[in-house]
Amino acid sequence: MIVVERYAAFADQGEGGNPAGVVVDAALPDPQTMQRIAAEVGYSETVFAAPRGDAWRVRYFAPAMEVAFCGHATVALGVALARRRGDGLFHLRLNAGEAQVEGRYSPAEASATLRSPPASSRPASPSALAEGLALFGWSRDDLAPDLPPAIINAGVDHLLLSVRDRETLAAMTYDLDAGRRFMEAQGLTTISLVQAERPDLIHARNPFAAGGVYEDPATGAAAAALGGYLGRIGWPHAGEVTILQGADMGQPCRLRVAIPTAPEDGVRVGGAVRQIV
């Protein structure tokens, strides 16, 4: 029998967090079974892991599709593995590439930190930018000049749009079907919408229409991609930034992102994890 554990990754002071299903077994189920389980669980992602040599073979499924990499599910997996094997660093083999997660677990406190696949970025094309802005009813005047639009990647592609005002971010709305068509046409996993309150504190929202989910409460893959981008553009704050996400959904999340000096080596993203009983 396949057992699905449930964790909320990137919880904020014991509350909120982004739910993920976690299946750890001796072997991975077939893809059709994994897709069915992910749809039945109904979270934005469910992660499946099985031991393979000195690493873990890992696949991620959203309700409507397989995803190449998912940060919050990786963090949830780190805690699930720490419960079984003790605190430590776990090497993950993905469909394309590798990642790591360091899990820590005790009955009183659990957390994990992932190291993403290599991070990269490129300018957003004029058409992708125009369509992305139109999707949310925004204009170029709504964008913050210090964080230019880009396609950012740390395992999967995200369109990054940074807005000037927290109010604009809080009022975000879009049509789910239109968002899905746009994201599929552009090869995007999510759209990363951010607003920098301070150089070390960033608010974020992540529409995930491509996966059949209106919005993800916390998105570790997008946070890693953003961290890599901040390192490449010479963001004014070095070291670690805090990303607050999910508050506009009533699911507060807190992500810690280390801005790397070498994004091609991956980006560290960590946070607290609570088990969903």
- The percent of residues in the chain predicted with pLDDT above 70, rounded, is 100
- Start-to-end C-alpha separation, the chain: 19
Does one domain contain both 78 and 156? Answer: no
Convert the pLDDT of each residue in 2-29 to its tens digit: 999 999 999 999 999 999 999 999 999 9
Q: How far is CA 237 from CA 65, 233, 242, in A?
A: 36, 11, 11
User: What's the domain count of the chain?
Assistant: 2
Q: 74 in the Ramachandran plot: left (φ > 0), alpha (ψ -120 to 50) or beta?
A: alpha
Convert the pLDDT of each residue in 200-257 to its tens digit: 999 999 999 999 999 999 999 999 999 999 999 999 998 999 999 999 999 999 999 9
Q: 231 in the Ramachandran plot: left (φ > 0), alpha (ψ -120 to 50) or beta?
A: alpha
Does one domain contain both 178 and 104? Answer: no
Structure tokens given for 168? 């604009």
Q: Which of 95, 115, 135 is the last residue of a domain?
A: 115
Q: Which of 87, 115, 143 is the last residue of a domain?
A: 115
Convert the pLDDT of each residue in 117-142 to its tens digit: 999 999 999 999 999 999 999 999 99
Q: 185 in the Ramachandran plot: left (φ > 0), alpha (ψ -120 to 50) or beta?
A: alpha
CB atoms within 10 A of CB 2: 10
pTM of the complete model:
0.94
Per-residue pLDDT averaged across 22-37, rounded?
Answer: 98
Which residues on adjacent β-strands are paired with residue 245? 204, 253
Per-residue pLDDT averaged across 160-164, rounded?
Answer: 98
| DSSP summary character for residue 259 | P
Does one domain contain both 192 and 251? Answer: yes
Domain of 86 in residue numbering reads as 5-115
Mean pLDDT computed over every residue of the chain? 96
Q: Kindly give the pairing relationship between strand 88-93 and strand 55-61.
A: parallel
Does one domain contain both 64 and 177? Answer: no
Taking the C-alpha atoms of residue 5 and residue 17, their distance in angstroms, rounded to an integer, is: 15
CATH of the domain at 174: 3.10.310.10
User: With bands split at pLDDT 50, 70 and 90, how would you rate the model's confidence at 277?
Assistant: confident
Name which of 77, 49, 46, 73 is nearest 61 in CA terms: 46
pLDDT of 96 = 85
Q: With 90 as the cut, is the pLDDT of residue 43 above it?
A: yes
Q: With 90 as the cut, is the pLDDT of residue 272 above it?
A: yes
Structure tokens given for 48? 């499946």
The answer to whether residue 276 sits within a structural domain is no
Does one domain contain both 137 and 168? Answer: yes
pLDDT of 67 = 94
User: 45-78: buried (b, 16+ CB within 10 Å) or exposed (e) per residue?
Assistant: bbbbbeeeeeebbbbbbbbbeebbbbbbbbbbbb
User: With bands split at pLDDT 50, 70 and 90, how would you rate the model's confidence at 177?
Assistant: very high
Taking the C-alpha atoms of residue 103 and residue 252, their distance in angstroms, rounded to an integer, is: 21
